[in-house]
Structure 1
Amino acid sequence: MNIVDGHLHFFAQEAGDYHWLKPQNPPYWQDKQAIALACGERSLTLSSGHTLAGYVHIEAGFDNQRPWREIRYLEQRAQLPFKSVASIDLCSESTLSHIEILAGFFSVAGLRHILDEQAASILTHPKTKHALKRCSEYGLSFDAQLDVGDSKGVNALLRLLEARPTLQVIINHTGAALLSSAVTAAYVKQWRINMKALAQCSRVAVKLSGWEMQCRDWHWRSAQNVVVETVAIFGVSRVMLASNFPLSNWRHSYQTLWQQYEKMLANFTLDAKCSLMANNTARWYGVDI
């Protein structure tokens, strides 16, 4: 079965900055050094039953002041079909000029500003609406990494989608912390309400990945429940399975992760499996497979 991984990162510390990977800088994860290693296409090992047909590289902090440096590095080395999502600061004075530069690279399909707990303030910032307008004019999507349980952030995103009728948004990492031991029934209820609100817009898709960000020791049955519910809300055509490699290595090897994903989809049709594991990612990001 072909796989198109919609969310992974390569690290090249000898060439980039990666401020967040340095032990003296946040996030202060005790296991951060386990992933702070050089990695690239050759690190993506799969079993004989799976073939990596392509991937989407998500900005990894190579150089957030000059995000095109990471894109240039990737394009010079890629062997497989791929697209990239570049770093952007939506609120910067240089945002529009950066978007213009990034749009000139063949691999750039989208942009990402990690929103997290600042989602509402960033998405309502005066510069953001102009940045996302320019983004959509260049045909670039926006990778929104936010907590979908945060209604203020979700409502701000919905208002931007209404104001920008050609903008495509892809929610990162399920938009949730559903596997966390601290999750409450009230949180899950609000996540479900907000996911349904986002699903009303046909220009929104969801990537299911980053389980280890929620819980290092996550269990595949818990993730499977999230996959089934997300597909029920968005439909098969707007959901993508992805790895978040190399952070996924905290729990599973790359090969084991995709084997587990296929097991999760045991009750899905073959067409649905192909859509969730490859074809949707290729279509939403324009990966030529």
Structure 2
Amino acid sequence: MQVVDPHIHLWDLSTHHYPWLANPQTSFVGDARKLKHDYLLADLLRDAQDIEVLKIVHVDANHDPADPVEETRWLQGIADGAVRGMPNGIVAGADLSADNAPAVLEAHAAFANTRGIRQILNVHENKLYDYVGRHYMREPQWRKHFGLLKRFGMSFDLQLYPSQMEEAAQLAREHADTQFIVNHAGMFVDRNATQGYRAWRDGMRMLAACPNVAVKLSGFAMFDHAWTIESLRPYVHETIDTFGCERAMFASNFPVDRLFGTYTALWNAYAHIVSDASDGEKDALFVRNAERIYRI
């Protein structure tokens, strides 16, 4: 089975600082204490076993916010020395609300494999789920700096909750020439309530109405620790139906999702869920969309 994996994380605790791994906690996404170990390219490829990973996209691993460019520098060094140029794409971290955001973006853009930026936006009224405690999309300086992504040819990985999707869709319409990629199928966290499902479904449809928005089918294990093929199936199908096979892509979210399953089990589950799709649709979902959207 061949895949392009557009959402992985690597870290080297001996040479770099990751605040969340320096003092790991247990949260709704799992026990981060079990992730407090190096996870390098060789570890990912070893986890892949018989899954043939053609290319990968590294998404910022919440590296030291005082020096986000160091993570990109490190990753580019790995790619330059790797046989297949992995990570083939780098989605770097940046705080677009910061005064130095323009300089940070320019520094990231200097590296050949940089393709985009992710800044986690997740805000939730329940403190258990609240990542950042502020609504960045409502802040004038953040929005001003967001407009610089086009200048540097960068996409934006959109990590948020359904309650934020209406604002995000407005942002996507205002920046129609910037590629947005929704992380983790929209992070449907309020899944025990009927209104929670509706908020996710309707929010995803608002985002999908913007032609410059794509989605990653990933991160399901963060909300479904005992996942099965059947528990994933409705969310995968609904997301593909909403965005179409041409704007959806499967991804592993490793090693975070490794807390609740193996790499091979996850990809084989995805393959089983879309087993009745055409060969062209499967190729798009597992390989071509990630290559096209991330330009790798």
Q: TM-score, normalised on structure 2? A: 0.89
Deviations 1:197-245 (A, max 9, x none): 1111110001111112112212221212111111111110100110110
| Match 2:166 to one of 152, 155, 158 | 155
Give 1:91 shift. 0.8
Q: State how far apart, in whole Å, the 2-side matches of 1:22 and 1:277 are.
A: 34
Q: State how far apart, in whole Å, the 1-side matches of 2:172 and 2:237 are.
A: 25
Q: State how far apart, in whole Å, the 2-side matches of 1:206 and 1:62 are.
A: 23
What does 1:52-131 correspond to in 2, within 5 Å? 52-78=53-79, 79=82, 80-81=84-85, 82-117=88-123, 121-131=135-145
What does 1:1-289 correspond to in 2, within 5 Å? 1-23=1-23, 31-43=31-43, 44-45=45-46, 46-48=48-50, 50-78=51-79, 79=82, 80-81=84-85, 82-117=88-123, 121-148=135-162, 150=163, 153-177=164-188, 183-287=192-296
Unaligned runs of 5+ in 2: 124-131
Give 1:68 shift. 1.3
Deviations 1:156-180 (A, max 9, x none): 22222222221111110111236x7
- Structure 2 counterpart SS, 1:167: coil
Q: State how far apart, in whole Å, the 2-side matches of 1:278 and 1:132 are.
A: 28
Q: State how far apart, in whole Å, the 1-side matches of 2:262 and 2:28 are.
A: 23
Distance change (3 Å), C-alpha of 1:163 and 1:30:
closer
Deviates more, 1:269-278 or 1:37-46: 37-46
The runs of at least 4 consecutive aligned structure 1 residues that moved more than 4 Å come to 24-30
CA-atom RMSD in angstroms: 1.9
Q: State how far apart, in whole Å, the 2-side matches of 1:136 and 1:119 are.
A: 27
Contact 2:28-2:222 at 8 Å conserved across structures? no
Contact 1:35-1:249 at 8 Å conserved across structures? no
Contact 1:9-1:245 at 8 Å conserved across structures? yes
Q: How many residues align?
A: 281
Q: Which one-letter code corresponds to 2:31 in the other structure?
A: D
Q: TM-score, normalised on structure 1? A: 0.91
Q: State how far apart, in whole Å, the 2-side matches of 1:126 and 1:240 are.
A: 32
Give 1:122 shift. 0.4
Unaligned runs of 5+ in 1: none
Q: Aligned residue for 2:128?
A: none
